[in-house]
Amino acid sequence: MASKQVTLKEVGEKAGISAMAVSMALRNHPRIAEKTRRRVQALAARLGYVRNPAFARIGSIRGARPREMMPMALVRHANPTSVFYHPSYMNSLAREAARFGYRLQFFRSEEEAGNGRRLGEILYHRGIEAVVLGPIFHQAFIDTFPFQQFSVVACEAGHFQPPCHLVMSDILLSMEQAVRLCLERGYRRIALAEHEEPMVPVDALHRQAGRLAARHVAEQSGAAWAEGMFPTTRTDAFHAWLGDFRPDVVIGQTAFFYWELKRKWKVPREVAFVTLRLGRDHAEPELSGFMENHMRTGALAIKLLDGEVRDFERGTPEVVSRILVEMDWKEGRTLPVRAKKRTVSGLKPVARAG
C-alpha cells in the first residue's frame, strides 16, 4: 500500500491528460467528456488518489510534503473462516480506507476472552485512533473496550449493540422483497424458515418486522403462509413441518435450509428456495437469494468513521444510528418462474419426495 499522496499530475500522466483536466474530470466538469470523466475517476480511485477539501485548498503551496496516511484498525472476532479474513474483503477495505487517507490494519478482538482493555492498549500504543468494529458476540468486549479513546463505527449485526453507529444489511427490506418476488413468479404457498437463536441478535426488531411484513404481503395476495423456527440440530422438525404445510417455495434465513431441503425434495422442481443471507463465501451458483455485500457495508463504515475522525468525535455518540445497506439479489436456479398453468391453478400440492 503506497503511503504517499498520489498527485493530480501523476493521475494525469497515467491518463495522458493534464493535471487540470484530471481535476475537472474528478469534479464532473461538463467540459470534460462523460467517457473521459468516468475513465479518470476510475483511474484515480485505483491509484488511491485522495481528494479532500482541505488538501485541495492548500495543494497549491509549493513544497508541501506528501501526506502520511493515518492508521485505521479493522477489529474482528477470532473466527478465521469468517468473511472478515477473506483476502478479497481485506484488500477491498484497505483500498477504501486508503481513498480516505488511512492505512488499514487488521486486529482480532479476542472478545471471547473479554480482552477489550488489552486490545485498546495495543491500538493506543500503535497510535491508532480510528476503529472499524466487526459484529460483537460477547458483552464482555463492550464492557472492557475503552471506547472513549477512539472514534469507532461498527459494521454487521452481532448479538450485542456496540455504543456506536452500526452499518448493517437491510434484512427487513430483503424479507419483504423475497415474498414479493415469490408472488410475482407464481408461488402460492410460502414457507419462511429461520434458525432458533439462543441469543437475541442486534437486528431482532428488523427481522421480526420483516417477518410480519413478509407475511402481510403474502396474505394480502391470498397466498398461504407458514413460518417456523428450527434449531439447526433438529432437522427432523423442519422436515415434518414441510411435510405438513407442503410449500411451493421455502424462504430460508440461511443457505443451511437449502442443504437440508435438498436431502428430501427436488429443488426447484418440487419446491423452490430463496435464501435471505447468502454470504459471498458460500455463494453456490445455483442458489437464488439476497446476498450480503460485506464490502459495501464495510466501505460505508469507513466513510462514516472518517467523518467521526474529522469531527474529532471520540467515545460513544449520544444517539447511535443504524445504517441499512440494501442487499443484492442474486439470480440462481432455485426460484424459477412457475409455468402459467400452475400459477393459475393456484394451490396445487407439491409432491413430497422423501
Task: Write out the residues near a copy of itself by the rule CB under 8 A.
Answer: 26-28, 30, 41, 44, 50-55, 57-58, 61, 63-65, 67-68, 70, 99-102, 129, 148-149, 167, 170, 172-173, 176, 205-206, 208-210, 212-213, 216, 293, 296, 300, 303-304, 306-312, 314-315, 319-326, 328
Rank residues 43 and 353 by Cβ distance to a copy of itself and give the closer one: 43
Q: Which amino acid is at 29?
A: H
Smallest gap from residue 260 Cβ to a copy of itself (A)? 28
Q: How far apart are CA 182 and CA 190, in angstroms?
A: 8
**Could you tell me the smallest distance in angstroms from the CB atom of residue 97 to a copy of itself?**
11
Nearer to a copy of itself, 194 or 308 (CB): 308
Nearer to a copy of itself, 105 or 149 (CB): 149
Interatomic CA distance for residues 272 and 91, integer angstroms: 36
Element (H, E) at 214: helix 204-220
Contact 82, 90 (CB under 8 A): no
The rounded distance, in Å, linking the Cα atoms of 224 and 183 is 11
Q: Pick left, alpha or beta for residue 28 (phi over 0 → left; psi -120 to 50 → alpha; otherwise beta).
A: left
Q: What is the 3-state secondary structure (H, E, C) of 224-264?
A: EEEEEEECCCCHHHHHHHHHHHCCCEEEECCCHHHHHHHHH
Q: How far is the CB of 288 from a copy of itself (least distance, A)?
A: 19
Which H helix or E strand runs over 155? Answer: strand 151-155
Residue number with CB closer to a copy of itself (236 or 318) = 318
CB of 235 to a copy of itself, least distance (A): 28
Q: Which residues contact 260 (CB under 8 A, 6 or more apart)?
A: 235, 238, 239
Cβ of residue 268: shortest distance to a copy of itself, in angstroms?
A: 27
Say whether 272 sits in a helix, a strand or coil.
Answer: strand
Backbone angles phi, psi at 64, to 5 degrees: -65, 130
Residue closer to a copy of itself (CB basis): 205 or 347: 205
Which C-beta is closer to a copy of itself: that of 274 or that of 300? 300
* Closer to a copy of itself by Cβ: residue 174 or 254: 174
Among 297, 301, 295, 294, which residue's Cα sits nearest to residue 152? Answer: 301
Task: Give me the least distance between CB of 84 and a copy of itself, in Å please.
Answer: 20
Q: CA-to-CA distance for 218 and 141, rounded, in angstroms? A: 41
Q: Which is nearer to a copy of itself, 206 or 277 (CB)?
A: 206
Cα 91 from Cα 81, distance rounded (Å): 16
Nearer to a copy of itself, 68 or 244 (CB): 68
Alpha carbon distance, N-terminus to C-terminus of the chain: 54
| CA–CA gap between residue 227 and residue 74 (Å, rounded) | 37
Phi, psi values for residue 99, rounded to 5°: -60, -30
Shortest distance (Å) from residue 205 CB to a copy of itself: 6
CB of 182 to a copy of itself, least distance (A): 17
Q: How far is the CB of 159 from a copy of itself (least distance, A)?
A: 18
